[in-house]
Structure 1
Amino acid sequence: MKTVLHKAGTRGHANHGWLNSYHTFSFSGYQDPERVHFGALRVLNDDTVAQGLGFGKHPHENMEIVSIPLEGDLHHQDSTGRNEIIRQHDVQIMSAGSGIAHSEMNANKDRPVKFLQIWVFPKEINIKPRYEQKSFKPEDRLNQVLTVVAPDDEKAVWINQDAWFSLANLEAGFETGYKVRKAGNGVYAFVIKGQVSINGQELEMRDGLGIWETEALDIKAGTDAEILLIDVPMNFREA
């Protein structure tokens, strides 16, 4: 088993006023050759956007882009005509494929929106751009690991990669396990809230732990906690 630990305080940070962003991996002005990606996981940004503001329309191609609101609502518009509100407990994915332009704005005029923006390298390049979002009830992930992004599960949002995202809300003291979904994949665990131990490694809020060359994870919540598990190929073809 191999691991890489990224403590919350070691992340890149950029505060633009309207956007306060923490970068687990190299992004924009934050560049660290030791932290470019974890397998096919390229970006994990922890963003807070001021009320009424956001990212103007900009292009992407050949990237799987996942947005997970933690607080507040996002207003998504794109060049395919999509005009959607993404709310807390929703998970959204946009397969940029052959090319798409989109904007992500804070839909709230009275409070910030907090969300995770995650990029995964695709399995197939230049596919037709695709968009999907679904809502997942918090009670459905209480003391269990719930798959929310997958290439093979109609209950989850679809991703153009052999990758699986799972969310879990764990009560203090609860113990569970996770089996890696495909041989050769690794798992990047991100603690959204609380304290957990994964394969013996103690983690706190916003810490990240990458684990590979193992078949399973042992997870124990030290406090009430919320975690995200990102199961991705460690060897992949970059677009």
Structure 2
Amino acid sequence: MPFDIDIPSQELQTLYDALPDVVFFIKDMQGRYTHCNLTLMRRLGRKQRGDVLGKTAVEVFPQRFGDSYQQQDLRVLRGETIENQLEVHLFPNRMPGWALTFKRPVMQDGAIVGLIGISRDLGQPDNRHSTFPRLMNVVDHMQAHHGENLRITALAELAGLSVAQLERHFRRVFQLTPQQLLTKLRIETAMRLLRDEDSIASIGQACGFADQSAFTRQFKATVGMTPRDYRAVSRATRPHRLPSARD
């Protein structure tokens, strides 16, 4: 007979302390941390949980990241669930890297009282999977043509798979859907091009976005800042290398 187990939040925090590639957090209605795991503390360069608890994302992250995370929190606290959001995060050495974020409201007596979430580092592709060589043909095609309008049906045909099979195997091998991997390739290219002098509109077009508005929306949702702000930051700091789909 099915039954419910109410796991205390403190137990969840202890459990996630053991996972170095996962950030775990619980926040109250003001977006303040009430729980966080050791991974989050270490990535923020904090030695004690007390340095994080009671603060908002804006107070503990660099502004360009904190503002974006806080906007996400507000959406979740209004009832939205965020699933499998591909994002650029700060890793332990302060280098940027890719992660998948999940956030959902915490309910009590039918009302939202906070939010709970995790961000999981994007792992290495499973190159031992039987479909890996065929999928890499698709990835190579994406890399060569990511500025074009790529159709999922054409990519599936290239791999000799149905669309459903392509989606399933991509998730298994890359932890991403084909569309997410294409977005990743486009954003990585945009981040490199933004260090040069080309206009933001032309960079967006070269990376396969319909117009500058679509480019700005996707870039901000993924990187946490607009292309214009990223260009200013990247010129003020030493450029970092992001891992590619082959890494």
Scaled by the length of structure 1, the TM-score of the pair is: 0.26
Greater percentage in helix: 2
Greater percentage in strand: 1
**Rg larger in 1 or in 2?**
2
Scaled by the length of structure 2, the TM-score of the pair is: 0.25
- By relative contact order (CA 8 Å, sep 6+), the higher-ranking structure is 1
